[in-house]
Structure 1
Amino acid sequence: MLNRLQAPIIKDATEFDLKLKAYDKYVLDNGVEVYAVNAGTQEVLSLELVFSAGNWFEQQNNIAAATNYLIKNGTKSKTAFQLNEHFDYYGSHLSRGCYNETANIVLHCIDRHFATHLPVIAEMITDAIYPQHELDIYKQNMQQRLTVNLKKCDFVAGRLIDEYVFGKDHPYGVYSNKEDYDALQQEQLQDYYKKYYTEGKCIIFAAGLLPANFQQELNRTIGQLPLNQKEIPTILHPVTPAVEKKYRIANDPNGVQGAIRLAQPFPNRHHPDFQPVQVLNTLFGGFFGSRLMSNIREDKGYTYGIHSYILNHISTTAWMVSTEAGRDVSEATITEIYNEMKDLREELVDEEELQLVKNYLIGTILGDLDGPFHIIGRWKNLILNGLDEQYFYKSVNIIKNISAKELQELANKYLHPEKFYELVVV
């Protein structure tokens, strides 16, 4: 019988033995690789088709994003309304997204409707027509959205800091202007679509309670498309960071807040420091109990929230600090950020704080392993970055065993004010 007078034993999260559930892999007739996690208790599934079709491959700004967005806005036999109504009728959801290296089409549905949706998705991949009136609406909407966003200091800061770190012509640093939308032409989208979708490179990630005929239905439809039949040429984009490190931009004369960004270039996941720096970043500004939060929000009251993070890029990346503070305390906020860097360089973190950070990180991973959708998301991140399950277990091991001395050495290697681009937009 449970003794309610006796408190249960409390274990640190670092004592847990984490396991990443394996995926099933198979290859369709056209060479498309499928990674699937068949698990869960609800009769739902997700299917994500990831194409090598991000803005990394475009020759003109906004072509990749427009092509991805309008892929759902009309085929040879269906209008945009009919496509949307098809998925809505079954209570399903089909989204699409465009990123730096990749673009995707994502289906969430009840498992028994899966086979009904596949022919429609296949039709979108081979028969999208990019109607001129849909393109005109897209251009108008995006220009209006841009006009509104450019009044926001936080939006402007996000654009500019990427340009400073990576260069204005790099896919990670380029940003949209009104003229870019005016320049979009129907033929350009159709050409990009044919090259990077219809005849492009595709990988599929699936999760949930998958039907017994899942592989057969996928092969019967997506497996017969002309995907993965042509080699996608390798495109190199050199990083050309700005020479100047400090910027102050006036954007809104009536604004009461300043958008602050500090960033430095940082290696990608294949660098040996990437995983241990994740621990240091969490301590510095990666969660609500971080040094930056405790000082700048809780103690000084300069901001509602401040965060540091490593950007989720594949080729190369950056270490970023981001916040909005009162206009009159923006400079003081930057001073305090540098003070926290100095403390991490000069003083060892105590064991209690280090254990808190470790427990937080392990707890975050535990959350990422809860349910098939989270698990396939973890696998997707590994696979697209050319990594395997050993990277996952190495990361867990580093979190559990990294020492205060190792964190101090990393802080002395990376956390120096002169390494950071510094931007305030007011």
Structure 2
Amino acid sequence: MIDRKKSPAIYDAVEFDLKLKPCEKYTLDNGVPVYAVNAGEQDVVMVEFVFFAGNWYENQNILAASTNFLLKNGTQHKTALEVNEHFEFHGAYLNRHCYNETATVTLHCLSKHLPQLLPAIAEVLTESVFPEEELAIYKQNQKQRLEVSLKKCDFVANRLIDDYLYGIEHPYGKYTTAPDYDAVEREQLLAFYQQYYTKGKCVVFTAGKLPADIQQQLNSAFGHLPFNQQEIPEVTHAVKPAVEKKYNIINDASGVQGAIRIAQPFPNRHHPDFIKAQVLNNVFGGFFGSRLMSNIREDKGYTYGIHSYLQNHIHQSAWMISTEAGRDVCAATIEEVYKEMQRLRDEPIEKDELDLVRNYMMGSILGDLDGPFQIISRWKNYVLNNLTESYFYNNLQTIRTISAEELQALAQKYLQPEAFYELTVV
């Protein structure tokens, strides 16, 4: 029996023996790989279809995003309203997202409703018709949203910094204008849809309290579809960063706040410094107790929040510092960012601070493994980035063992002000 008068022992998160729950893999009749995590107490399930249909593969701006958005806005047998009502009737949620390399269609529902919902998704993925009236509404709505967003300095800053890092023609650097929406035609959507969805490369991820016959259900609904019957086009994009490194943009002459972005190109996850840099980034600006937050938010009061992070891209990445500050203190904020870089270059991190960051990072990973949906999300990240399970354990080992001297050397290598692009939008 538990002694309620005795407090339980307290352990540091770095002492936890974290394990990544294994992921079952099988293949449908048409060659589509399925990754499954069967866990959880509630009778809910997530099924996500990942297609290599991001803007990396488009030959016209926003074609990939527009196709993905309009997928469920009408099929050969159902109107957009009927498609949505079918999923809502079963208490299900069907969502879609378009990223740089991939696009997804994701179902969340009760396990018992899969037999009614999986065939409906197959219909969306093979019989969407992209009605002209739905396309017209989409264009109008998106242009209105864009017009409103362009008045916000943080929105403009996010667009421009990626352009400076990668070039406006690169998928990571391009951004949308109103004429881009006007140029999208139904025939182009249908062609992109046929190539990259109906006949495209598909990977399925599923998690939750899975039915015993989940493999048979998926195979019955999708195993006969023409997915994965052709190779993904080999597409490369040249990175053409801007020549100038410092920019000041006036977006609202009467605005009182400015958006600051400071960023430099950085290697992707396969580089040996990537995991180590994540530890250094957390010391620098990666969580609420970071140096940037302590200095610029708590001490100086220049901003409500400032963060640094490594971009979640597959081919290239970037190290980014992001904040919004008062217009009159933007220059001072940037100066303090560079001072914190210098401190990391010049002084080893104290043991107490490094231990705090280690525990924060281990605790965050523990939280990310809390439930089947979070676990399959981590597996998806590894699969799509061509990583293995060993990456997870290498990450844990690095967090536990990296030294202050290694982090200082890393700061001296990467946290050099002249390597960063600097943008202020007011």
TM-score, normalised to structure 2, is: 0.99
1:331 aligns with 2:328: no
1:92 aligns with 2:60: no
Residues 311-366 of structure 1: per-residue CA shift (max 9 Å, x gap): 00000010000000000000000000000000000001110000000000000000
**Residue type at the aligned position of 1:19:** K
Tell me how far apart the structure 2 counterparts of residues 358 and 110 of structure 1 sit (CA, whole Å): 38
**Residue type at the aligned position of 1:361:** M
> Residue in 1 aligned with 2:403?
403
> Residue in 2 aligned with 1:276?
276
**Residue type at the aligned position of 1:282:** N
Tell me the SS of whatever aligns to 1:72. Answer: coil
> Residue in 2 aligned with 1:321?
321
Tell me how far apart the structure 2 counterparts of residues 232 and 304 of structure 1 sit (CA, whole Å): 44
Alpha-carbon offset, residue 3 of structure 1: 4.9
Tell me how far apart the structure 2 counterparts of residues 397 and 271 of structure 1 sit (CA, whole Å): 16
> Residue in 2 aligned with 1:113?
113
* Correspondences of 1:127-166 after superposition (within 5 Å): 127-166=127-166
1:24 aligns with 2:24: yes
Tell me the SS of whatever aligns to 1:410. Answer: helix
* Correspondences of 1:7-406 after superposition (within 5 Å): 7-406=7-406
Alpha-carbon offset, residue 232 of structure 1: 1.1
Tell me how far apart the structure 1 counterparts of residues 5 and 282 of structure 2 sit (CA, whole Å): 37
Alpha-carbon offset, residue 8 of structure 1: 2.8
Alpha-carbon offset, residue 6 of structure 1: 4.3
> Residue in 1 aligned with 2:412?
412
Tell me how far apart the structure 1 counterparts of residues 7 and 43 of structure 2 sit (CA, whole Å): 38
Residues 136-178 of structure 1: per-residue CA shift (max 9 Å, x gap): 0000000000000000000000000000001100000000000
Residues 68-89 of structure 1: per-residue CA shift (max 9 Å, x gap): 0000000000000000000000
Tell me how far apart the structure 2 counterparts of residues 266 and 424 of structure 1 sit (CA, whole Å): 21
Tell me how far apart the structure 2 counterparts of residues 41 and 2 of structure 1 sit (CA, whole Å): 25
Tell me the SS of whatever aligns to 2:71. Answer: helix
**Residue type at the aligned position of 2:339:** N
Tell me the SS of whatever aligns to 1:322. Answer: strand
Tell me how far apart the structure 1 counterparts of residues 310 and 275 of structure 2 sit (CA, whole Å): 11
Residues 174-219 of structure 1: per-residue CA shift (max 9 Å, x gap): 0000000010000000000000000000000000011111100100
Tell me how far apart the structure 2 counterparts of residues 392 and 148 of structure 1 sit (CA, whole Å): 41
Tell me how far apart the structure 2 counterparts of residues 109 and 75 of structure 1 sit (CA, whole Å): 21
**Residue type at the aligned position of 2:142:** M
Tell me how far apart the structure 2 counterparts of residues 125 and 22 of structure 1 sit (CA, whole Å): 29
Alpha-carbon offset, residue 4 of structure 1: 5.2
Tell me the SS of whatever aligns to 1:315. Answer: coil
Tell me how far apart the structure 2 counterparts of residues 242 and 88 of structure 1 sit (CA, whole Å): 47
Runs of at least 4 residues of structure 1 off by over 6 A? none
Q: Mark the runs of 5 or more structure 1 residues left unpaired by the alignment.
A: none
Tell me how far apart the structure 1 counterparts of residues 387 and 244 of structure 2 sit (CA, whole Å): 35
Tell me the SS of whatever aligns to 2:194. Answer: helix
Alpha-carbon offset, residue 7 of structure 1: 3.7
Tell me how far apart the structure 1 counterparts of residues 200 and 184 of structure 2 sit (CA, whole Å): 21
Tell me how far apart the structure 2 counterparts of residues 245 and 256 of structure 1 sit (CA, whole Å): 24
Tell me how far apart the structure 1 counterparts of residues 421 and 261 of structure 2 sit (CA, whole Å): 8
Alpha-carbon offset, residue 9 of structure 1: 1.9
Alpha-carbon offset, residue 94 of structure 1: 0.2
Tell me how far apart the structure 2 counterparts of residues 86 and 296 of structure 1 sit (CA, whole Å): 50
Tell me how far apart the structure 2 counterparts of residues 129 and 2 of structure 1 sit (CA, whole Å): 62
Q: Mark the runs of 5 or more structure 2 residues left unpaired by the alignment.
A: none
Tell me how far apart the structure 2 counterparts of residues 421 and 108 of structure 1 sit (CA, whole Å): 40
Tell me how far apart the structure 1 counterparts of residues 414 and 172 of structure 2 sit (CA, whole Å): 21
Tell me how far apart the structure 1 counterparts of residues 294 and 315 of structure 2 sit (CA, whole Å): 33
Residues 200-245 of structure 1: per-residue CA shift (max 9 Å, x gap): 0000000001111110010011111000001111100011100100
Tell me the SS of whatever aligns to 2:70. Answer: helix
Residues 44-77 of structure 1: per-residue CA shift (max 9 Å, x gap): 0000000000000000001000000000000000
Identity within the alignment, %: 64
Tell me how far apart the structure 1 counterparts of residues 72 and 308 of structure 2 sit (CA, whole Å): 36
